Structure 1
Amino acid sequence: MKRALIIEDNDDNLELISFILNAYGYEYSSAMSGMEGYNKALTEHPDFILLDIQLPDISGTEVLAKLRATEATKSIPVIAMTSYAMAGDREKLMDAGCNGYIEKPIDPEIVIQQIQSFLDNT
């Protein structure tokens, strides 16, 4: 069974993402801050990470940079989940090392399609 790490500080979004993953048979753990998420990625080695970009301590882009700079986590697929919807934001995140991009508010169908397309290609 594939295991996800959800790095998300909003309780409602975390609950929705957890519900979606559970419904499709994925295991998951979660972190409410960037550093907690980074540390969990180091110890848990998830199959993929769902990463909020606006976090309370360090930004999701900082978390992504740390993940990509660390040997143990650099190849873990990361899907950014963000309310950033300005022109070019998706491209910036993809160029920074994200494997996917999901806009908030979260659409459950899009979330699971993105996850499944990653896992099919890894």
Structure 2
Amino acid sequence: MATILIVEDNPSNMLLATFLLEHAGHLVLQADEADSALRLARERLPDLILMDVQLPGMDGLEATGTLKGDARTGAIKVLAFTSFAMAGDADRIRAAGCDGYISKPISVDEFVALVEAALGGG
């Protein structure tokens, strides 16, 4: 069982992702904006963070840069959880410090497989 922080401001996306990850046996932490995500990441040191790119206030890429620049949280894997899937977006996401990305809308099987792979189990 891994601890996974989901940072998502859309309640439907949060509900679905939480359900799928809890069903797969993981402990899920939730944040709907970057400041609370940064606080939770520093306090709980999750194994993985799923970071929405478009968040109110500080966006997910800026929040990822903050996490990656902090000695306590820099090693936590971060996957961008994004509806951006255009050419060049993957480069921009990786340049911000993300270890990969999951495109929305999600495929249930692919979502769980990508999370497990990021955790080292697939």
Asked if TM exceeds 0.5, the reply is: yes
- Supply the distance in 2 between the matched residues of 1:6 and 1:110 (Cα, whole angstroms): 17
Bigger mean CA offset, 100-109 vs 57-66: 100-109
The percent identity for this pair of structures is 37
Question: Which residue does 1:13 correspond to in 2?
Answer: 13
Which consecutive unaligned segments of at least 5 residues does structure 2 have? none
The alignment's TM-score, normalised by the length of structure 2, stands at: 0.94
Which consecutive unaligned segments of at least 5 residues does structure 1 have? none
The alignment's TM-score, normalised by the length of structure 1, stands at: 0.94
CA apart distance, 1:96: 2.1
CA apart distance, 1:90: 1.0
- Supply the distance in 1 between the matched residues of 2:82 and 2:119 (Cα, whole angstroms): 21
- Supply the distance in 2 between the matched residues of 1:106 and 1:36 (Cα, whole angstroms): 24
- Please give the per-residue CA displacement for 1:3-51, whole angstroms capped at 9, x wherever unaligned: 0000000000000000110110000110010111011100010010000
Q: Does 1:59 align with 2:71?
A: no
- Supply the distance in 2 between the matched residues of 1:91 and 1:112 (Cα, whole angstroms): 23
CA apart distance, 1:102: 0.9
Higher helix share: 1
Q: Paired residues, what number? A: 121
- Supply the distance in 1 between the matched residues of 2:25 and 2:44 (Cα, whole angstroms): 18
**Alpha-carbon RMSD:** 1.1
Question: Which residue does 2:120 correspond to in 1?
Answer: 120
CA apart distance, 1:95: 2.5
Retained in 2: the 8 A contact 1:100–1:114?
A: no
- Supply the distance in 2 between the matched residues of 1:95 and 1:58 (Cα, whole angstroms): 17
